[in-house]
A and B are shown apart, each in its own frame.
Chain A
């Protein structure tokens, strides 16, 4: 920046004296800001792990296993005696981990399929006038706060789905689990609606960035529009698609409020063997469990348990970023990056 006056003819020494915003200082200030961010992230990770440690230490690897009812365990942890030596920390978090996996994987699978084809349509096939409406709407949807989706979920979709489940089906499993409008299907549905727009936006940008000469070359050889899209554009845009996937997965993984509202809020592991009933079974992912129990944060052992959930989420999002980075490597040669 300070180079500009120099280029305009001012002697270099004068520019340095000009000074508050000399290159040198700007560099240091920006460097300091960047370091603060790094320190903050590092501090946060350390803080979460230090707080979470007693929960992991008490349970060992069984923490990740199943056994007993996780909601009952959380109640026992909350009601543990005030004496630090007799804290109850027993937890088998499998239903929560499994619930997180189910909702995230389901939403990302449906969302990606939908987003890819929508993006292809917007870029290549949509009439100009429709495209002019579609694109801003998609970008707007990507910015809607999740709690709005949650509200629409419990006010509109949940009562409707509750009516769909037959009395017999509810009665058949009444002694194990309650089937209501809040269940895994609704959670996946709304989560899909929530993460799809951001994927569409990223993939659209990527498909646009494919060099025209490549697609024109293919078209000149007589390839039809669909095959040009599929074999040239989508293939070239793969790194961007992976980036969209990582971003959307991270959002789904960390979604708390909306899932706490519509997922059924029971520490239950839906079982695919149950057939159609499976789709109506409730669950509760990790992030939603944190939100649901935040009231009891002042109870030390419950706080430690909630930090353990946070630590698991942190580690999974780190692995997610790493996985995304590694997956992009072999695609780099002909790829474009967003």
Chain B
């Protein structure tokens, strides 16, 4: 146990080093806050951007989370260089903001192979995950019988946040009796071994599972890229006015470079 604590502390120390690099005078610090779903992606992008030759001496990053609205408010008030938003712009947003799209994020609804549901509506998803419907016999098109076993991710997970925003909305909560998994892989394994289970996952974790078409559209990479698959959303990096200087270079690198594209395609949907 002591070993675990030491490791945790070392981990925290590392995060602290990454998050707050020594403020060198010649460097520009790009600060970001906002969506917890974008945070892991932004962290990976920033750390590999720093590996581009010549960049480390010029730019450093400071990354915080908080939620999309916090990111948008922060950037509008000039507290950060980039506000990360995983929701689209709405009319109530402050004036003068530029939304730069960097990636898309899509979530597939998945069940056991033997329970190949042909189509699912948002209402059914909400009924199932909020715990209103607890038996497969009440779900149209389900071949499983018996109680529904919900397998979800921890609150801290970006996928959980995406699922909440895309399918559940702000009002409904996932039923507290759901079984919680700490990683995509463990969640997929739990669904693979239980014919009564239902959960959600990004594309690359749907291997060996049945992914349910949502509102008649199959959950696939092309459908998500084209926007036909409605279970997807945009990731934005928001700036006050058009991006300038280091922020502009960073966003351009995210959109153009192959490295960034590879990072995005690990868990998210690249734009190209």
- Jot down 9 A-B pairs with beta carbons below 8 A, ordered by A: A44-B6, A159-B194, A178-B150, A178-B177, A260-B182, A291-B182, A297-B11, A298-B19, A298-B65
When the two chains form their complex, are residues B194 and A180 in contact, meaning their CB atoms are under 8 A apart? yes
Q: A174-B147, A296-B156 are known contacts. Are A310 and B193 too (CB-CB below 8 A)? A: no
When the two chains form their complex, are residues B179 and A264 in contact, meaning their CB atoms are under 8 A apart? yes
When the two chains form their complex, are residues A266 and B146 in contact, meaning their CB atoms are under 8 A apart? no
Indicate the member of B65, B147, B155, B182 with the most A CB atoms within 10 Å. Answer: B155
Q: Is B172's beta carbon under 8 Å from chain A?
A: no
Binding site for B on A (CB under 8 A): 41, 44, 47-48, 69, 71-72, 74-75, 78-79, 82, 154-155, 158-159, 162, 167, 170-171, 174-178, 180-182, 250-251, 253-254, 256, 260-261, 264-266, 268, 282, 284, 287, 290-299, 302, 310, 313-314, 317
Encode B1-35 as 1/0 by CB contact (under 8 A) with A.
11011101101100100010000000000000000
When the two chains form their complex, are residues A154 and B66 in contact, meaning their CB atoms are under 8 A apart? no
When the two chains form their complex, are residues B147 and A78 in contact, meaning their CB atoms are under 8 A apart? no
When the two chains form their complex, are residues A265 and B181 in contact, meaning their CB atoms are under 8 A apart? yes
Which B residues lie within 8 Å of A72 (CB)?
173, 176
Indicate the member of A171, A253, A284 with the most B CB atoms within 10 Å. Answer: A171
When the two chains form their complex, are residues A175 and B156 in contact, meaning their CB atoms are under 8 A apart? no
Closest-CB distance, B34 to chain A (whole angstroms): 10
Task: State A82–B68 Cα separation when bound (angstroms).
Answer: 12
When the two chains form their complex, are residues B176 and A71 in contact, meaning their CB atoms are under 8 A apart? yes
Pick the contact of B179: A69, A265, A294, A310 (CB < 8 A): A265
Task: State A203–B188 Cα separation when bound (angstroms).
Answer: 41
Name the CB-closest residue of B to A183.
B179
Task: State A299–B5 Cα separation when bound (angstroms).
Answer: 18
Q: How many residues in B have their beta carbons less than 8 Å from beta carbons of A?
A: 46
Which B residues lie within 8 Å of A260 (CB)?
182
Name the CB-closest residue of B to A154.
B189
Pick the contact of B147: A41, A178, A181, A296 (CB < 8 A): A178
Q: Majority SS of interface residues in chain A?
A: helix
Which B residues lie within 8 Å of A254 (CB)?
1-2, 4
Q: Is B255's beta carbon under 8 Å from chain A?
A: no
Q: Is B98's beta carbon under 8 Å from chain A?
A: no
When the two chains form their complex, are residues A290 and B8 in contact, meaning their CB atoms are under 8 A apart? yes
Beyond the given pairs A74-B155, A293-B155, 8 more chain A to chain B contacts, judged by CB atoms under 8 angstroms and listed by A's residue number, are A74-B154, A182-B190, A254-B1, A265-B181, A296-B36, A296-B156, A297-B11, A299-B36
List the count of A-B residue pairs having beta carbons below 8 Å apart: 136
When the two chains form their complex, are residues B66 and A162 in contact, meaning their CB atoms are under 8 A apart? no
Q: Is B97's beta carbon under 8 Å from chain A?
A: no
Closest-CB distance, B263 to chain A (whole angstroms): 18
Closest-CB distance, A94 to chain B (whole angstroms): 15
Task: State A299–B156 Cα separation when bound (angstroms).
Answer: 9
Task: State A44–B197 Cα separation when bound (angstroms).
Answer: 41
Task: State A82–B181 Cα separation when bound (angstroms).
Answer: 25
Which A residues lie within 8 Å of B230 (CB)?
none
Closest-CB distance, B82 to chain A (whole angstroms): 16
Name the CB-closest residue of A to B43.
A298
Task: State A86–B189 Cα separation when bound (angstroms).
Answer: 38
Task: State A148–B230 Cα separation when bound (angstroms).
Answer: 39
When the two chains form their complex, are residues B12 and A167 in contact, meaning their CB atoms are under 8 A apart? no
When the two chains form their complex, are residues A44 and B9 in contact, meaning their CB atoms are under 8 A apart? yes
Indicate the member of B19, B66, B145 with the most A CB atoms within 10 Å. Answer: B66
Which B residues lie within 8 Å of A295 (CB)?
154, 156-157, 182
| Cβ < 8 Å to A, chain B residues 169-193 | 173, 176-182, 186, 189-190, 193
Q: Is B134's beta carbon under 8 Å from chain A?
A: yes
When the two chains form their complex, are residues A175 and B134 in contact, meaning their CB atoms are under 8 A apart? yes
Indicate the member of A177, A290, A293 with the most B CB atoms within 10 Å. Answer: A293
Which A residues lie within 8 Å of B186 (CB)?
154, 261
Pick the contact of A265: B64, B145, B180 (CB < 8 A): B180
Which A residues lie within 8 Å of B193 (CB)?
154-155, 158-159, 162, 181
Closest-CB distance, A207 to chain B (whole angstroms): 28
